[in-house]
Structure 1
Amino acid sequence: MSISIKEIRFILLVPLILLFANCSTKTSHKQKGNVFIENTNGNYSLYKNGKKFVIKGAGGYSNLETLREAGGNTIRIWDTTNLTAILQNAKQNNLSVIVGIPIFESEHLFYYNDPIKTEQQFQTVKTFVNKFKNDPSILMWCVGNELYFPFSLSYKKFYKAFNRIVDMIHEDDPNHPVTTTMVNFQPSQIFNLKFKTDIDIISFNIFSRISFLRRDLKRYSWLWNGPYLIAEWGTNGPWVDEPKTAWEAYIEPSSTKKAAIYKAMYQKFMPVEDPRFLGSCIFYWGQKQERTHTWFSLFDEYGNKTEAVSTVKQLWLGNKTLHTSVQIDKIQLNQKEAKDNILLNSSEIANAQVFLTKPDSNITKINWEIYPEDWHEKNGKSNTIRPDAIELKIIRSEALKIQFIAPEKEGPYRLFAFIYNKYGFVSTCNIPFYVIQKKQ
């Protein structure tokens, strides 16, 4: 078993950290309400209204009827925008809601060192917790998303503000547990959550690193052996380890390949047998822009389903869906694939084609679109607004092929194909290319 240098440093620091932790005045809090966690000799179970509740959830707030039909029982949202309508829609579909409470990140020390600002944040949270706490659809509160929980004493006022919010929720709303999320499994942050906060559940946003989760849970069970849920999981994202072009445009798998990734991740790595596991939420149940508008989206903006929706239904209910989406093998541009670093001249005539794994007579239409590459980030986070599409000048279109004129302006682009069938599914794929301006 290999251990990284970072992990060794953490282990060596543990005795010193424990010494400080023993000086902490943090008290233990146990809930017993409409929703609570029961611990029986290390076996944790979530209960709602007296019945055991295993979270089969999704991040997002649209297409809730489809979620219910797929066997889902929970949605996770990141803030309180339109919360009244979301809770009402959830109730109509017999779904529970993990409500996100956005707060300033811990790195904003200027904010947490200002007592007026932290008091305003506290009062804002207190107001809407008390406004919505009696709604029957609420499952739990999630304070912050992917916050950083450091050991440094300079973050003392952040912890004070964070704990004040958590303690207020416990006091004002004893019927619902409180969680927060972190990116992947991070032992140092887990330590700080355990000894510096009174969180009831630790939640992980974890994608490709889910393959290491069982190992990490076992390796650090001496440090923390409490309940957890996976608040976000899904296909590998446009991150460091994923393949990309020479101009660093990440290569996105087709919706067919992503469905296979979802299935493999869940069946191989989801720790459903762990007595500490409370459930999971797939990401993203709807349509959102993150590098592209298809990368994480299980639906298009019109509510058409991708194959991953059928996959999730099969994983949750065990029965295979009779009808699903068109099966994409690959997309090519000028007989090249994305890994070939496709270069086009400005206004060049180009040919694109989508290849299927097998013929499909249920196709109703095919849409093609071109978008500029979306590299925009703010504070290290991807743009959430889709760029404007580029006018696609099609010369000829035939079945799964098109001939078109490349954009005139130099730069990176993506050509998207959307294949619809008569069963309400959409299959997606795209291919990045770079346009070189003609010399004058």
Structure 2
Amino acid sequence: MLFFRLRNLNKIKVISILLSSSFLILNLLSCSRQTEKSTKEVYIKESSGKYSLYRNGQPYIIKGAAGYSHFNTLKNIGGNTIRIWDTVGLSTILDSARLNKLAVIVGLPIANSDYMALYNDSTKVTKQHNAFKAIVNRFKGHPAVLMWCIGNELDFPYKPSYNNFYQAFNKLTDMIRKEDPNHPITTTVLNFNKKYISNIKFRCNIDIISFNIFNRINYLRDDIKSATLLWRGPYMIAEWGIDGPWDGTLQTAWGAYVENTSNKKAEFYLNRYKKYMPLEDPRFLGCFIFYWGNKQEGTHTWFSIFDENGASSEAVDVMRHIWTGKRQGSTFPQIKYMLLNKKGAMDNIILSSHANANAEVLLLEQSKIKAIKWEVFKEDWYKENLHNIKKLKPLQNLIKSDGALKVDFIAPKEEGPYRLFATIYDYNGHFATCNTPFYVVADK
């Protein structure tokens, strides 16, 4: 009997050991699965009011640029993230980002809330929803995806008449959370708008609010502080940079915006980042410089950090310094200013049609200049759509002499506003640019 009891006791011990071992193995497998999942997903962690973004199981501090190109340059100067606005060519963009060890915030370009012709039509809403669902399911497993951004500079109004917009928006976020729980969701608003933030908080379900903010960034710290009773969540700056033409920029008598030299813009980027970027805020997850590429907006040089052939402006070196603390060994062409008929942009330069004119660019140093390109363009600002993205073509047969710091040219025949551009290249693949607006009065 004693033997039987001991034998049964041993059996019980064996069973207990086996059960304990099984639970241990299950726990280890569970932990392994959780670890594997955590290294694959992107998520936000909050601790005592501090928000941190995690990717591949490690804290991820966004060092970003808004644009579709120059990924290798971004990687080489310390950047790690690209933000795009739509899904055109998304497969190629994600593959290129992966090769360059960059992450991508993918924009899902939904219609703004004021497009009621869409949001009041259930068929159109369903079509938009299904199109983005297909995109999410196709690319959710791509290792370069960091998060999804629903829309760009959307309005989030309060009125009940916009309920259909909110229903469509929330249906999209619900879909993304179901189909792809491994990536956060954001949306962007223009500047810091308390009403929009309130409506996003109480009527939407996203993880991060993102701001596109330029000259208003000077007030961002105060704006954030003033809204803490309403909202204490994480945020990003999805676009920041120099002031746009619409941001109180100096204008001529006929309304042409005066554009800074590319060197002045580089200085502006650096000062704005150091003085106004809320790097100390525990809720701040990162920012994206605008525009990482070449685009027409106001002019073809206003926001362009690169030229159309891939040469880089001094703003690239500024971002290298911001992200790595280092500067490039070679310098960039340094423009002091441009004169047109010995006058500056704010002198309201008026030329007669077909009149002979001259211009010059003054540099801080001239020894490393490779080439200078002079061009005359019609103005684009006076059109109904200031944000036209179609690149203009320079006017032909007006430049008499090219390739030097001084140029002679002929004023256009047609009356109206124009702009003279000079682009200076060095031997290191760098450029600097400047321009001066002028107005042509037709001969009577």
Q: TM-score, normalised by structure 2?
A: 0.90
Query: Is the counterpart of residue 300 in structure 1 residue 293 in structure 2?
Result: no
Q: 1:425 aligns with which of 426, 430, 436?
A: 430
Residue 420 of structure 2 corresponds to residue 415 of structure 1:
yes
Preserved contact between residue 73 and residue 96 of structure 1 (Cα < 8 Å)? yes
In the TM superposition, 1:25-424 aligns within 5 A as: 34-356=41-363, 358-375=364-381, 382-397=387-402, 399-424=404-429
1:435 paired residue number: 440
Q: Report the Cα offset of residue 397 of structure 1.
A: 4.6
Structure exhibiting the larger radius of gyration computed from Cα positions = 2
Q: Secondary structure at the match of 2:400?
A: strand
Alignment RMSD (CA, Å): 1.3
After superposition, the C-alpha distances for 1:42-71 in whole angstroms (9 at most, x for unaligned) are: 100000010100110001121111000110
The number of equivalent residue pairs is: 407
Q: Tell me the CA shift for residue 89 of structure 1.
A: 0.5
Q: Within 2, Cα distance between the matches of 1:253 and 1:243?
A: 10
User: Percent identity over the alignment?
Assistant: 52
Q: CA deviation at 1:377?
A: 5.0
SS in structure 1 opposite 2:118? helix
Instruction: Return the offset for 1:362.
Output: 1.1
State the AA in 2 paired with 1:141: W
Q: Name whichever of 158-167 and 106-115 sits farther off.
A: 106-115
Q: Secondary structure at the match of 1:174?
A: coil
**CA distance in 2: counterparts of 1:181 and 1:43, whole angstroms:** 21
Secondary structure at the aligned position of 1:141 is classed as strand
What amino acid is aligned across from residue 103 of structure 1 in structure 2? I
Counterpart CA distance in 1 for 2:161 and 2:200 is: 16
SS in 2 for 1:135: coil
Distance 1:334 1:197 in 2: 57
Q: Which amino acid aligns with 1:434?
A: Y
- SS of 1:402's partner is strand
Q: Separation in 1 of the partners of 2:374 and 2:386?
A: 28
Alignment check: 8 A CA contact 2:372 2:402 kept: no
Per the TM alignment, residue 398 of structure 1 is displaced from its structure 2 partner at its CA by 6.8
SS at match of 2:107: strand
User: Any unmatched runs of 5+ in structure 2?
Assistant: 1-36
Letter in 2 for 1:260: E
> Helix, strand or coil for the counterpart of 1:394?
coil
Partner SS, residue 218 of structure 2: helix
| Structure 1 residue 360: Cα displacement | 2.7
**SS class of match (1:68):** helix
Contact 2:372/2:403, CA 8 A, preserved across alignment: no
Report the residue type matching 1:403 in the other structure. Answer: D
Q: 1:438 to 1:168 in 2, by over 3 A?
A: same
- Compute the TM-score of the two structures, normalised by the length of structure 1: 0.91
Q: Is the 8 A contact 1:376 1:383 kept in 2?
A: no
What are the Cα deviations for residues 147-180 of structure 1, in whole angstroms up to 9, with x where unaligned?
A: 1000101001100000000111011100100000
- CA distance in 2 between counterparts of 1:339 and 1:288 reads 25
Q: Secondary structure at the match of 2:242?
A: coil
CA deviation map 1:324-369 (0-9, x unaligned): 311111111001111111000001110100111x223111000001
The structure-2 alpha-carbon separation of the partners of 1:230 and 1:354, relative to structure 1 and needing over 3 Å to count, comes to same
**Is the 8 Å Cα contact of residues 207 and 236 (structure 1) preserved in structure 2?**
yes
Moved more, 183-192 or 399-408: 399-408
Residue by residue over 1:11-60, the C-alpha shift from the partner in whole angstroms, topping out at 9 and shown as x without a partner, is: xxxxxxxxxxxxxxxxxxxx976100000011000000101001100011
8 A Cα contact 2:374 2:399, kept in partner: no
Q: How far is the alpha carbon of 1:240 from its aligned partner?
A: 4.5
Secondary structure at 1:382 match in 2: coil
Which amino acid is the alignment partner of residue 416 of structure 2?
A: G
Residue type of the alignment partner of 2:130: Q
Contact 2:371 2:403 in 1 (8 A): no
* Greater CA drift, 395-404 or 52-61: 395-404
Instruction: Kindly state the Cα deviation for residue 322 of structure 1 after the two structures are TM-superposed.
Output: 1.4
Structure 1 residue 247, shift from structure 2 partner: 1.0
